[in-house]
A and B are shown apart, each in its own frame.
Chain A
Amino acid sequence: MQSPVEIIPHSSGVVGVSWLMIVLPLLGAAILLLSGRRTDRWGHFLGVAMVLASFVVAVASFVELLGLPEDQRRMGVALYQFIPGMADMGLLIDPLSISFALLITGVGSLIHIYSIGYMSHDPDRRRFFAYLNLFVAAMLLLVLADNYVALFIGWEGVGLASYLLIGFWQHKPSAAAAAKKAFIVNRVGDFGLLIAIFTIWTTFGSVAFAKVFPLAGEASNGTMTAVGLLLLLGACGKSAQLPLQSWLLDAMEGPTPVSALIHAATMVTAGVYLIVRSGAFFEVAPTAQLVVTIVGVATLLAGAIIGSAKDDIKKGLAGSTMSQIGYMMLAAGIGPAGYAFAIAHLITHGFFKANLFLGAGSVMHGMNDEVDMRRYGGLFPVMRITAITFIIGYLAIIGFPLLSGYFTKDGIIETAMEHNQILGWLAVLGAGLTGFYMSRMVFMTFFGKKRWADDAHPHESPAVMTVPLILLSIGSIFLGAFLILGNRFMKFLAPAVGLPEELPVFHFGSTAGLATLALVAVGAVFAWFRYGAADVPEVAPRGSFLTTFARRDLYGDALNETLLMRPGQWLTRFAVFFDNRGVDGLVNGLAATIGGTSGRLRRIQTGYVRSYALSILFGAAVVVGALLYVGNM
């Protein structure tokens, strides 16, 4: 492998002010939150403007980066001392971070614009935009940070934004519960990340990427494996990978643009970013890498299975997101050969999944916020733009030849196949499942019989919503080919993550590729027979064991409940009881004992002067005896 280039301090040009990318949306959020109802009328425009401005800065930085020779394409921007002697606030502008920045601000802008329409009837639209802006700022800090502490601030910042946005409709108890669950499950991951940072600090005496990565090879294998696994735990939390996947499906309680931006395109991919960014550690810890790939494959299958059984369109898409991130994890675990594919798939996935989610949102917008696909059907004629863009996204995700997903997913599968046959074939199987569940979704939604609710009057969404859809679908078509063909993206990323020793060559019609296509086709055809050609019942049939298994999210929640929540509740109850009766009881018992003893001792005071006199006489006798004794000694 070709090692990444060193980070060069940089303080001029657009990159010198790249912190504006973060500060602008943060400012937007602050203004919107502090100004109160005064800015209700134009607040959403401010939110959009801030993200667009941030996008402009990102593009400008990107252009400046491209203008530099390849060995100078890692620029460090020092900002200020954060914790003196430990961590400084600084940004790292390199191909990896700028790719993310472009994705976040670009897709983010589109989703902001879309939200103007989607949230137009919500009285709290201003607050919504404030949270979205906050999210963009935190996400940018996450990807642009030049050290783990700053990264962690962004990491938790996006968690907060995710919490606020999932629970945006707080009056719904389910939304509030889902938000809390997301945050807490994420915290479990954060625990891993924190310990990883501690270990990095104690191992290298620094948390800055520039300092620690070059030293990775010198640390012991055990340490690096531990760091790798801990980082993976963090990544699992954020990216909803097994075993911390359970929050993502509940997170669909949030407004649909949130699901598109946070729970599909950007935040959930932060785990992949973390693994790729920390590639230097993983490369010296093959065990950790292996675990990453296993987690990736397990999740990609689990997500696909869950996605196949959900009737809620958003939950179906959430399962799909899990599955796709599983692909990215798989690629990220393979090493430098997979990094480029992981990130490329991440970017194309950002486009087509945002496209799909926004499309789903558009459908819901027209269907009185109905999310049950069994109540859709035959929507194609009434919302053509939504339907066509959705179908483009669908074709992209299942890997229809020449669309985005085809290139990136195929790249991952082939790399995996070279790396490990079992993983490769499992990934192929996952692709087949993708073909099935996505087709099922499209057929149930846009084709077949109308199964609408009586009061549903589906209609096409306004332009402010459809234009972002169109733009995203254009990305969904062409981005994959642009990134993958000629290893363009791999070479671009090289300064950040290095290059594999042997550059892959993309060839159409490889064994794995053909097998994938065949399986996808089988899945799609099967879906057509079940949900396109046949009538879909309006109430879900009981289904087989497997269906129930998938509908219950593979019993993930039940497992959490039995293994963690119940014992936790018992422990809490016991601890409260122990505190009241045990610790406090001990203290109060001691007090009561003293009180009781003195109460009994008090009885010696009979009030009879003769008793007192008796004790005085005894005392006198003792004194005389003592005097005699001492005198005789």
Chain B
Amino acid sequence: MPWLSTLMAVPVLGAVGVSLVKSDKLAKQLALAISLVVLVLTGVLAAQFNPTSGTRFQFAEVYDWIPRFGVHYGVGVDGIALVLIALSVVLVPIVILASWHDADGTGANAPPKRSVKTYFALLLVLEAMMIGVFASTDVFLFYVFFEAMLIPMYFMIGSYGGAQRSYAAVKFLLYSLFGGLLMLVAVIALYVIAEKGTFMFPELIGAIQDPTTQKWLFAGFFIAFAVKAPLWPFHTWLPDAAAQAPAGAAVLLVGVLDKVGTYGMLRFCLELFPDASKFFTPLVIVLSVVGIIYGAIVAIGQTDIKRLIAYTSISHFGFIAMGVFAMTANAGAGATLYMVNHGFSTGSLFLIAGFLIYRRGSSQIADYGGVQKVAPVLAGTFLIAGLSSLSLPGLSSFVSEFMVLIGTYEIHPVPAIIATTGVILAAVYVLWMYQRMMTGPTAESVKLFPDLDIREKWVVAPLIAVIIAVGFFPKPLLDVINPAVDKTLSTVQVDQFTPAVADKKGAGQ
């Protein structure tokens, strides 16, 4: 059974269906149902996935697309892709449920009414593309999805966003296109120089041997991914886009779309251009560390909740990129896990911030105060999401951040130490935000806040549950991720570290 094609087809057909039904309410219910079907299908797929099997890309489907240029419709998943697809399909139903009234125009402070059906159809189209981009095993197909993803997101920001939405949407689009075009050049050059007559990723591994060529092609790919991720200093589109996007779209933007950047670094940059990756490692690690500290410091100074969360993400993306380029088993697995965990923790922060903004009509931190007194559940879930963001042990982000740092420390101790100061800054920005918004005397404007209703609880509960579960028991995810990361690193051929003082009975556990 063509599992992955089915996974993509269901939301696309669903989007068509959603845009055809008469009533808005039915459209929402249909969208939710479709996304849940996709979730179930992914569950079945994940159950059949065998992380330790010899075949790297499982559920592979390869058909000719443009035979003249060796372009294929090639999909397949390994452990890394699988967990990211899982992240996407888990987040989409949650986002749909969370965005239930976003386009309605109801509520005292809601934005004006816009087409509800279009919004949910766009969400489903986006879901299909997110699955596609992670599942592509053809570099050209990956590029197509990479760019096509921008379209639904552009409309979601540009039509359903806040006051500055068109500025943010255009900035987002131009930035991403800029990176994407560099990547297109590199993709074509890769095809031409490799002389393999195909765009299939597995066949292109090791095709480029010349170090100078590798460096140029690496730069083309890397800048695209650095813009997408975003890495410092290509980050300024993210705060605008995330702050202007509706909360649901912001979750998918920061939670999933941006992961394509770091995923691309891990999958394509490292494996296609191993020597160039090693050459550029110091530069990337410096950029990552700067991003970690810089993102955190700028986040501390923000006065807008959504911008603050966006800047925390820039800091977190620094961790992920650092983990990818540390090129150790722990850091690589940690970075992959971080991609998933960051999706959940930042996703829940954005969604709960969205609930707050829906109630108050303002995203300024100064407009809140003492929310904990009137809406304890809201405040509590916000705190948990925030604590996950500052990677409190026992919550999911800790495991990944710890692995990234320890893995980086194995090879690059100094950057790892500097990056670790990020955990202090993280505590400052999260807790200060919590202090300003949730504690203290209850502000007049929040006196009448209702606590989370049933729908909102259903939105938050699965996220919190995942955050805590992965925080204490990350093994199932790591078991899927580890073999894939090890395979990647063996392609890159990096020497794994050995402890200074080895146990005589064999190092490690």
Q: CB within 8 A of A176: which of B377, B380, B393, B435?
A: B435
Q: How far is the CB of A156 from chain B (nearest CB, A)?
A: 4
Q: How far is the CB of A444 from chain B (nearest CB, A)?
A: 32
Residue numbers in B under 8 Å from A533 (CB-CB): none
Contact B394 A205 (CB under 8 A): no
Spot the interface stretch: A189-197, A328-336, A521-529.
A189-197
Cβ of A571 < 8 Å from any Cβ of B? Answer: yes
Cβ of B406 < 8 Å from any Cβ of A? Answer: yes
Contact A205 B508 (CB under 8 A): yes
Residue numbers in A under 8 Å from B405 (CB-CB): 194, 198
Contact A152 B393 (CB under 8 A): yes
Contact A576 B302 (CB under 8 A): yes
Contact B301 A572 (CB under 8 A): yes
Contact B406 A86 (CB under 8 A): yes
Contact A171 B235 (CB under 8 A): no
Bound together, the chains give a CA A292 to CA B222 distance in angstroms of 47
Cβ of B63 < 8 Å from any Cβ of A? Answer: no
Contact A84 B482 (CB under 8 A): yes
Considering only residues 319-358 of chain B, those with a C-beta below 8 Å from chain A are: 329-330
Residue numbers in A under 8 Å from B2 (CB-CB): none
Bound together, the chains give a CA A247 to CA B413 distance in angstroms of 30
Nearest opposing residue in chain A for B372, CB measure: A170
Cβ of B45 < 8 Å from any Cβ of A? Answer: no
Contact B298 A180 (CB under 8 A): no
Contact A82 B402 (CB under 8 A): no
Bound together, the chains give a CA A157 to CA B435 distance in angstroms of 19
Q: How far is the CB of A267 from chain B (nearest CB, A)?
A: 15
Contact A211 B503 (CB under 8 A): yes
Contact A82 B474 (CB under 8 A): yes
Nearest opposing residue in chain B for A216, CB measure: B501
Residue numbers in A under 8 Å from B472 (CB-CB): 82
Bound together, the chains give a CA A211 to CA B405 distance in angstroms of 21
Q: How far is the CB of A178 from chain B (nearest CB, A)?
A: 10
Q: CB within 8 A of A160: which of B235, B373, B387, B399?
A: B387
Contact A85 B423 (CB under 8 A): no
Cβ of B427 < 8 Å from any Cβ of A? Answer: yes
Residue numbers in A under 8 Å from B499 (CB-CB): 201-206
Spot the interface stretch: B96-104, B115-123, B439-447.
B439-447
Contact B420 A572 (CB under 8 A): no
Contact B416 A170 (CB under 8 A): no
Residue numbers in B under 8 Å from A180 (CB-CB): 431-432, 434-435
Contact B508 A572 (CB under 8 A): no
Cβ of B392 < 8 Å from any Cβ of A? Answer: yes
Q: CB within 8 A of A170: which of B294, B398, B439?
A: B439
Residue numbers in B under 8 Å from A36 (CB-CB): 377
Q: CB within 8 A of A202: which of B174, B302, B482, B497?
A: B497
Q: How far is the CB of B185 from chain A (nearest CB, A)?
A: 19
Spot the interface stretch: A42-50, A424-432, A547-555, A579-587.
A579-587
Q: CB within 8 A of A184: which of B403, B410, B428, B441?
A: B428
Considering only residues 455-509 of chain B, those with a C-beta below 8 Å from chain A are: 472-475, 478-479, 482, 497-503, 507-509
Contact A184 B431 (CB under 8 A): yes
Residue numbers in A under 8 Å from B372 (CB-CB): 170-171
Contact A197 B406 (CB under 8 A): yes
Residue numbers in B under 8 Å from A568 (CB-CB): 300
Cβ of B409 < 8 Å from any Cβ of A? Answer: yes
Cβ of B424 < 8 Å from any Cβ of A? Answer: yes
Cβ of A447 < 8 Å from any Cβ of B? Answer: no
How many B residues touch the partner, as a band?
35 or more
Cβ of B417 < 8 Å from any Cβ of A? Answer: yes
Bound together, the chains give a CA A195 to CA B410 distance in angstroms of 11
Residue count of chain A within 8 Å CB distance of chain B: 65
Q: How far is the CB of B499 from chain A (nearest CB, A)?
A: 3
Contact B370 A81 (CB under 8 A): no
Known: A195-B417, A202-B499, A215-B501. A576 touches B427 (CB 8 A): no
Known: A86-B406, A184-B424, A206-B507. A575 touches B298 (CB 8 A): yes
Known: A204-B503, A211-B503. A188 touches B424 (CB 8 A): yes
Tell me what chain A mostly uses at the interface: helix, strand, loop, or mixed: helix
Residue numbers in A under 8 Å from B423 (CB-CB): 187, 190-191, 194
Contact A194 B427 (CB under 8 A): no
Nearest opposing residue in chain A for B400, CB measure: A83
Known: A86-B509, A180-B435. A202 touches B370 (CB 8 A): no
Nearest opposing residue in chain A for B428, CB measure: A184
- Hey, what's the 0/1 contact readout for B179-221 against A, CB within 8 Å counting as 1? 0000000000000000000000000000000000000000000
Cβ of A223 < 8 Å from any Cβ of B? Answer: yes
Contact B420 A171 (CB under 8 A): no
Bound together, the chains give a CA A201 to CA B501 distance in angstroms of 10
Cβ of B236 < 8 Å from any Cβ of A? Answer: yes
Q: Tell which of A81, A175, A180 has the most Cβ of chain B within 10 Å.
A: A180
Nearest opposing residue in chain B for A194, CB measure: B420
- Hey, what's the 0/1 contact readout for B384-416 against A, CB within 8 Å counting as 1? 000100001110001100110110011001001
Cβ of A219 < 8 Å from any Cβ of B? Answer: yes
Contact B509 A202 (CB under 8 A): no
Nearest opposing residue in chain B for A181, CB measure: B431
Q: CB within 8 A of A167: which of B297, B380, B439?
A: B439
Bound together, the chains give a CA A591 to CA B171 distance in angstroms of 10
Cβ of A384 < 8 Å from any Cβ of B? Answer: no
Cβ of B421 < 8 Å from any Cβ of A? Answer: yes
Bound together, the chains give a CA A584 to CA B168 distance in angstroms of 12
Contact B438 A218 (CB under 8 A): no
Contact B440 A173 (CB under 8 A): yes
Contact B298 A576 (CB under 8 A): yes
Q: How far is the CB of B78 from chain A (nearest CB, A)?
A: 17
Cβ of A452 < 8 Å from any Cβ of B? Answer: no
Cβ of A460 < 8 Å from any Cβ of B? Answer: no
Cβ of A573 < 8 Å from any Cβ of B? Answer: yes
Cβ of A183 < 8 Å from any Cβ of B? Answer: yes
Residue numbers in B under 8 Å from A179 (CB-CB): 431, 435
Residue numbers in A under 8 Å from B43 (CB-CB): none
Nearest opposing residue in chain B for A153, CB measure: B393
Considering only residues 74-132 of chain A, those with a C-beta below 8 Å from chain B are: 80-88, 127
Cβ of A149 < 8 Å from any Cβ of B? Answer: yes
Contact A170 B297 (CB under 8 A): no
Contact B406 A206 (CB under 8 A): no
Bound together, the chains give a CA A156 to CA B174 distance in angstroms of 42
Considering only residues 264-293 of chain A, those with a C-beta below 8 Å from chain B are: none
Known: A183-B431, A573-B301. A84 touches B440 (CB 8 A): no
Q: CB within 8 A of B236: which of A184, A218, A579?
A: A579
Nearest opposing residue in chain B for A177, CB measure: B435
Kindly list 5 other residue pairs between chains A and B, CB separation below 8 angstroms, not including A184-B431, A195-B409, A202-B413.
Answer: A187-B424, A187-B427, A191-B424, A198-B409, A202-B409
Interface residues of A (CB under 8 A from B): 33, 36, 80-88, 127, 149, 152-153, 155-157, 160, 163, 167, 170-173, 175-177, 179-180, 183-184, 187-188, 190-191, 194-195, 197-199, 201-206, 208, 211, 215, 218-220, 223, 568, 571-573, 575-576, 579, 583-584, 587, 591
Sorted nearest first, the 9 A-B pairs with minimum C-beta distance are: A205-B499, A176-B439, A576-B301, A205-B507, A153-B393, A572-B301, A198-B409, A584-B236, A170-B439
List 9 A-B pairs, Cβ < 8 Å. Answer: A80-B473, A82-B475, A84-B478, A149-B402, A157-B393, A194-B402, A194-B423, A575-B298, A583-B236
Interface residues of B (CB under 8 A from A): 174-175, 232-233, 235-237, 294, 297-298, 300-302, 329-330, 370, 372-373, 376-377, 380, 387, 392-394, 398-399, 402-403, 405-406, 409-410, 413, 416-417, 420-421, 423-424, 427-428, 431-432, 434-435, 438-442, 472-475, 478-479, 482, 497-503, 507-509
